[in-house]
Structure 1
Amino acid sequence: MRLREKGKPDGAIVTLAWDAAQAALLAGTHVSAEHEGSEGEHGPDQPAESGDLDAKTQPELEAVAAERGVDISGAKTKADVNAALRARP
């Protein structure tokens, strides 16, 4: 998940694993940077394939995540992988 340190609008965007990102958001130290700009550290945003994602198996979703550069290290289930992909289209 892409985050920016709270209170630093010109600060660097960092990509954290899902669990670490959630902890940072809950602690109030970071804010989401998911929708800032059209390009992140992994290149241009990819179009969401929400209908196609539901039909894919977990290994297929993991391959899509790897292709898009989405960190799913904290994902334990297919739903977790799916949520991570939807959070970063």
Structure 2
Amino acid sequence: MRLREKGKKDGPVITMPWDAAQAALAAGTHEAAEGASVDEGSTPGSITQQAGQGGDAPNDDLDDKTKVELEQLAKERGVDIGEAKTKADIVKALRAA
């Protein structure tokens, strides 16, 4: 999900995994940067490192998809997500497949 620090309209756009983005939004430190150009200083994965998840996020768009889109993708790929309870579980299963 693409965010920028709250109150910094011209600040860099930061790409975060879904769960980290939700936490940042809930904490009030960031706001959605949807519609911002990718060339506006986007730094994919930078928050992933700050969140302690280590390294850049995988080079896929799974974190940007909705849960329904992920379920459809899993069905298309034949990935069993029967044990998945959250969106993060589905993403993990898709990446492991």
- TM class by shorter chain equals 0.3 to 0.5
* The structure with more radius of gyration: 2
* Larger proportion of strand: 1
Q: Which has the higher contact order (CA 8 A, sep 6+)?
A: 1
State the TM-score, normalized to the length of structure 2: 0.44
